[in-house]
Chains A and B, each alone.
Chain A
């Protein structure tokens, strides 16, 4: 059935061609087609070349320029950001070293103060110590000097108690002296 239908169709087509009025080869329509093609295509060409293509071209160019411009801007901003970052790092390093210096100076000053204070205190203490020692030695010396007088008095008292007589001061002193020398 398919085949017969196809056959019928092709036969019909062949019939047309045989009759000579197969439309695409019918030369009586050529003049009209050529004229209208020239008119329509000519107008189309003019419209394309004068209006549409310049417009699309300018749209594309504007976009390309804009993209290039934006890329440049981005590049510039990135450079700026890099510079700012470098400056920041530099400043940070400066600040760090400055802080270190300040801390070092403060530490040195504190140490010097402390040393000075200690030296002062030590000198004070040494002075007081020496003074005290001198006083002690003085007291000792005084005490020792009084020991002889006390010994003489005591001896005079003991002698008067024991033998009921008195001894001259000179004799007592000499005896105490002898005794002290023997003791030493």
Chain B
């Protein structure tokens, strides 16, 4: 069981709760969601509590996160997009901290479950659709009708635009989920090689060096992926929000 690379994604109930036939148990996944929120909030809150004119190191980390997301959003969606700043910032920090927490051994990775990433992606797309229609009314549908396309091609182009819009929440959620899932499985598999090979005696221990190096390298890579996927998620969120703000291409 310890060698099972899927075991780490298993959800176990900590406090069973059932309401109306639905299982709302507080699980290890819930625990790590709470841990993610607590870690991110605690860090951001405590490091900025001094409100230093000259920031301490940790305060400048918080400020860097703020300015990083702010400039990402401003570049992606213009200054009008700053109204979505709390949402984009929360998404970025939540995904980033959840990914990074998942890198600790024996920790559960919240973002390795598609339902979580899909819910976050639907939050983004839902915001885009609701805000788009609220702001532009039916003019939001211009999003699917690029200007300057010859009439003959228009049905085809519109069909493509609609499909690409509908596939956004799927691609957004599957990208994050699959990266985290595959990364953790790969790490576990290579780490499993080390234990199973070294059980084979002297020759096996020699042979285990290679997967050990691989595991170390992959751990580094996974930290990069953790950050990168949070960044990609946030950047795509900014681009989709830009569509809601400026639907005509």
Contacts and interface: CB of A to CB of B under 8 A. Distances in A.
Interface in B25-71: 25-27, 29-30, 33-34, 36-37, 40-41, 44-45, 48, 51-53, 55, 59, 62-63, 66-67
Q: Is the interface of B mostly helix, strand, loop or mixed?
A: helix
A13 B185 CA distance: 9
Interface residues of B, number: 63
A44 B4 contact: no
Nearest to A23: B9
A60 interface: yes
Contacts of B113: 23-24, 29, 33
B86 interface: yes
A45 B90 contact: yes
A1 interface: yes
B239 to A, nearest CB: 20
A170 interface: no
B22 interface: yes
Contacts, number: 154
A29 B48 contact: no
Contact of B207 (A2, A10, A26): A2
B20 to A, nearest CB: 10
Contacts of A62: 51, 53
B5 interface: yes
B134 interface: no
A52 interface: yes
A32 B207 contact: no
A30 interface: yes
Interface of A: 1-2, 5-6, 8-10, 12-13, 16, 22-26, 28-38, 40-41, 43-45, 47-49, 51-53, 55-60, 62-63, 66
30 contacts: A1-B197, A1-B204, A6-B193, A9-B188, A9-B192, A16-B4, A23-B10, A24-B113, A24-B177, A24-B181, A29-B113, A30-B115, A31-B24, A32-B24, A32-B27, A32-B30, A33-B113, A33-B119, A36-B27, A37-B110, A38-B119, A40-B33, A41-B120, A44-B90, A48-B90, A52-B48, A53-B85, A59-B51, A59-B52, A62-B53
